[in-house]
Amino acid sequence: MALHPVLGKLVRKRVVLASASPRRQEILTNVGLRFEVVPSWFKETLEKSSFAAPYEYAVETAKQKALEVANRMHVKHLRTPDVVIGADTIVSVDEQILEKPVDKQDAYRMLSRLNGKEHSVFTGVAIIHCRSKDNQLEMEITDFYEETKVKFSELSEELLWEYIHSGEPMDKAGGYGIQALGGMLVEYVHGDFLNVVGFPLNHFCKKLAELYYPPSKHNVQHKKYDSIPSVDTFENLSDGESESSNFTEHKVASKLDSSGMDSSAAVHTSGKSSAVRTGFTVPLENQNGVSQSPSKFPSKILELMDGFRASKALFVASKLKIFDHLKDKGPMKAVDIANDIGTSVCGTERLLDACASLGLLEKTPQGYSNTDSANTFLTSDGKYSLHGYIIHSNDHLWPLFTNLESAVKEGGRQNHRAFGKKADDLFKDYYHSQEVKQRFMAAMHSIAHLTARDVATAFDLSQFKSACDLGGCTGALAHELVQVYPNLKVTVFDLPEVIANISYFQPSGQHPAPVTFVSGDFFKDNLPEADLYILSRVLHDWPDEKIHVLLSKISAVCRPGSALLVAETVLDEQKTNPSVAVLQSLSMTEGKQRSGSEYKQLLEKYGFTDVQIKITGNLLDAVLCFKKSLSL
């Protein structure tokens, strides 16, 4: 099956996925489709009893999701997409439709119904082709559904509750995720696995093939709906690249592409061919002079090749505070932004377009404005602002990474090359330069704030009365902890230079359970007393001898039953994932990232026991362990 030519038909189209489901985004991204994500606001409240079969409900919901987005984009944002894709996944058991559970009890109710039985997973999909004519939105809808049968093993109550407490069921139809922990519940799957995960990719490609390469005119399966303005069948839904090409003209041959990757090639009998990738086509020729296209196009590699441009565009837009500017004033034209911030018009326009193409800005005839995520994460005063970390990445990490080759050859940090100073001298700068200090603290604050909720709730910490966050910097995690556990008193212990600069980062408003800040050096000074010690993003930064000093001290002050919570990104046992932590290692600090078993081993060495690890799915994971009681 030559699927790439089919997806290639979407290459030059503005494709919108009307879904917030991360799984759908991943499935389509993995096959190299480039699209915008505009989650639908359609509420899934259609009357289920009015549908003769469960799949009809899924198809209609998928269609309504996509229609809502198509209409909204056309009316509100004055942007008409070419194609909008909507989907809805439901689980059906005993003629009942199960959607996402509303709470844990609901998840339990669903999973109990599925226990030991076979059920069906239906995903309804709607593909809407849109066009704006005389400012009117014209649409043509194609829809379909896919059914997969799944059987659960007989599962104990205990296992069901353990699964529910993992948090995984909550955003998933039927209350399980077959692609993750939920896979353990499943005895067999009959049909398309990806359909269960949320998107029937194979059927989708076949549907596109029907649309773009109709075997004959009268056989086209476009449906027209009364609920949308009646339009003539579009003369041609294809992109004009090979209008007359017939799907059966493609033959599939296996080959190694020029990068040495195993792939299949679609060979056009006409001799004209192209390798389809998101955004452009690359012709390839084999030894016989016949053009071929690798079906497995290295889109991931090309994305990596371009990654530095995208990073730098984000850094520069952040540095120029474009997102702050647009939050207050958007939408704005490039010329006005350039005038306000004192930059060239042509350069600014290019940067703004780059940000729009990266999904950071929206571009309309009125000008540029922030996307929701830019407002939340990229403005410098947003609640979950990453601005500080982005500036730190630009000013500090970028110069270091431009010297990565030397770092790998020499096996050490490249501060002398990047900044003309040794790491120790740079550290002195940190003490002396207010600007450097603030920048670093803002970076730490960004990450701590973004991860605090997941770290604070990874384990139930309500048994503890007092906690001490060692190196807790601006107190972002501490503030989250007192919100989650109102009876917990939290002390942040950090260097005097840090404590002197925390006021800027303190949350405004009334705080019934204040956080206490104490200055000191955790390598040298006495540690404040606490039932729970916390080390968040500390251990990966220091060499073994420093960690020895620190963990020995904590172990010595911990009473039996006291605990230590470590927040770090925990590597898998192969130490190749998650890549965010593996790439961080390339900074070549004297510290290192560790796997779960390495953390366990390290902590047990210092008298901690019952080491539990929780992978949060956020940037930081959590490791909790307890000081061995004397009797152990």
Ligand X SMILES: Cc1cn([C@@H]2O[C@H](COP(=O)(O)OP(=O)(O)OP(=O)(O)O)[C@@H](O)[C@H]2O)c(=O)[nH]c1=O
Cβ atoms of 480 and 451 within 8 Å: the answer is no
Binding segment for ligand X (CB under 6 A), chosen from 166-174, 229-237, 274-282, 554-562, is 166-174
Q: Does 174 bind ligand X (CB under 6 A)?
A: yes
Q: Which is nearest to 568 in space by CA: 600, 544, 546, 527?
A: 600
Tokens in use for 531? 């039932």
Q: 388-421 burial, b if ≥16 CB within 10 A, otherwise e?
A: bbbbbbbbbbeebbebeeebeeeeebbbeebbee
Q: How far is the CB of 618 from ligand X (least distance, A)?
A: 18
Q: Which of residues 5-64 bind ligand X (CB under 6 A)?
A: 19-21, 23, 39-40, 44
Q: Which is nearer to ligand X, 192 or 494 (CB)?
A: 192
| Residue-wise DSSP of 476-531 | HHHHHHHHH-TT-EEEEEE-HHHHTT-GGGSPPS--SSPPEEEE--TTTSPPPP-S
Q: How far is the CB of 117 from ligand X (least distance, A)?
A: 15
Q: How far is the CB of 208 from ligand X (least distance, A)?
A: 19
Residue 565 identity (one-letter amino acid): L
Q: How far is the CB of 184 from ligand X (least distance, A)?
A: 12
Determine which residue in the list 6, 38, 141, 173 makes contact with ligand X, applying CB under 6 A.
173
Residue 547 identity (one-letter amino acid): I
Q: Which is nearer to ligand X, 21 or 278 (CB)?
A: 21
Residue nearest to ligand X (CB): 198
546 three-state secondary structure: helix
Q: Which is nearest to 250 in space by CA: 592, 578, 4, 615?
A: 4
Q: Which is nearer to ligand X, 178 or 492 (CB)?
A: 178
Q: How far is the CB of 150 from ligand X (least distance, A)?
A: 8
Q: Which of residues 176-215 bind ligand X (CB under 6 A)?
A: 176-179, 182, 196-198
Q: How far is the CB of 173 from ligand X (least distance, A)?
A: 4
Beta bridge pairs of residue 131 = 138
Q: Which is nearer to ligand X, 91 or 139 (CB)?
A: 91
Q: How far is the CB of 143 from ligand X (least distance, A)?
A: 14
Query: What is the x/- site pattern for ligand X, positions 265-294, by CB under 6 A?
Result: ------------------------------
Apex CA 96: angle with CA 41 and CA 154, to 5°?
115
Q: How far is the CB of 622 from ligand X (least distance, A)?
A: 23
Q: How far is 469 from 398, CA to CA, in rounded Å?
A: 29
Question: Is 88 a known active-site residue?
Answer: yes
The residue from 82, 88, 106, 134 that is catalytic is 88
Phi, psi of 60 (to 5 degrees): -65, -40
Residue 575 falls in which region: left (phi positive, over 0), alpha (psi -120 to 50) or beta: left
Distance of CA 347 to the CA centre of its chain: 30
Q: Which is nearer to ligand X, 33 or 473 (CB)?
A: 33
Query: What is the x/- site pattern for ligand X, positions 136-155, by CB under 6 A?
Result: --------------------
Q: Which is nearer to ligand X, 58 or 571 (CB)?
A: 58
Query: What is the x/- site pattern for ligand X, positions 89-128, by CB under 6 A?
Result: x-x--------x--------------------x-------
Contact residues for 549 (Cβ-Cβ < 8 A; gap 6+): 523
Phi, psi of 602 (to 5 degrees): -60, -50
Q: Which is nearer to ligand X, 25 or 595 (CB)?
A: 25
- Beta carbons within 10 angstroms of residue 11's beta carbon: 19
Binding segment for ligand X (CB under 6 A), chosen from 169-177, 244-252, 532-540, 566-574, is 169-177
Q: How far is 165 from 162, CA to CA, in rounded Å?
A: 5
Q: Which is nearest to 62 in space by CA: 15, 140, 124?
A: 124
Q: Which is nearer to ligand X, 61 or 348 (CB)?
A: 61
Q: Which of residues 469-498 bind ligand X (CB under 6 A)?
A: none
Binding segment for ligand X (CB under 6 A), chosen from 86-94, 108-116, 397-405, 503-511, is 86-94
Q: Which of residues 334-353 bind ligand X (CB under 6 A)?
A: none
Q: How far is 499 from 446, CA to CA, in rounded Å?
A: 17
Total number of residues binding ligand X (CB under 6 A)? 26
Q: How far is the CB of 48 from ligand X (least distance, A)?
A: 13
Question: Residues with catalytic annotation?
Answer: 88
| Footprint on this chain of ligand X (rule: CB under 6 A) | 19-21, 23, 39-40, 44, 65, 87-89, 91, 100, 121, 171-174, 176-179, 182, 196-198
